[in-house]
Amino acid sequence: MSRSKLLLYGNASSSAARRVRAVLIYKNVEFEEIMIDIVKGDAQYKALVNPMGMVPAVKFPQSDSVLFESLPIMELINELYPEKPILPKDPYELARCRQITEIVNSGMQPFQKPSIFKLSGMNEEEKQKFLNITQRRGLQTLEHLVGLNYSVGDHLTIADFAVVCHIRNLIERWNLSLTDYPRVEALYKKLKDIDCFVKSHPDLQLKTA
């Protein structure tokens, strides 16, 4: 049975969930969001929605099936709601777009999750050293790849949603400086005040939750 609105399972502090939230806002897709406590865990959510227990997950109005993991979710949103496309048409730009997105998604984002630090038992000094290694390696790579106005091409793509949401975490949650990465810093400052990023910001979700 179909529903009238897309249903997003998210979390205010999750940068992966924020990517999807921002894409939906950017594309003017009506949606409802259910906030999941991924720190304490939600047994019902894990049993009925996502066995991994992580966010985001989405139920589309066109289907009762559930899709999780932010990258395939964003790509399916782009297919189902084609206005304001977030994937380049040029195959080389598309590959570069996915490359940047994957650097953030696999090479940076997993290594700054509070759950990782909790499981590892790192103290603050060890945590900062770990962040400096994992995040600065990714930032150095992004510095060579991102464009001046957008990560790739001449409009917002999934790469921008990945970069902006993650860089916000590094600055506001972990107090990492972007001084050594002027290209990344300039791009972040240029994009962060776009409406979809303002409205998807974690602080706003906490206020309205």
pTM of the model: 0.94
Consecutive H or E run containing 133? helix 124-145
Could you read off the pLDDT of 144-198 as tens digits, one per residue?
999 999 999 999 999 999 999 999 999 999 999 999 999 999 999 999 999 999 9
- What is the set of domains in the chain, with CATH numbers? 6-84+197-208 (3.40.30.10), 91-194 (1.20.1050.10)
Using alpha carbons, list the distances in angstroms from residue 13 to 21, 76, 110, 121, 195: 12, 23, 14, 21, 18
> What confidence category does residue 115 fall into, taking pLDDT thresholds of 50, 70 and 90?
confident
59: left (phi over 0), alpha (psi -120 to 50) or beta: beta
> What confidence category does residue 116 fall into, taking pLDDT thresholds of 50, 70 and 90?
confident
Sheet hosting strand 6-10, strand order edge to edge: 31-35, 6-10, 57-59, 66-68
* Integer Cα distance of 16 and 60 in angstroms: 18
pLDDT value for 51? 95
> What confidence category does residue 1 fall into, taking pLDDT thresholds of 50, 70 and 90?
very low
Structure tokens, 69: 């993991």
* Integer Cα distance of 203 and 201 in angstroms: 6
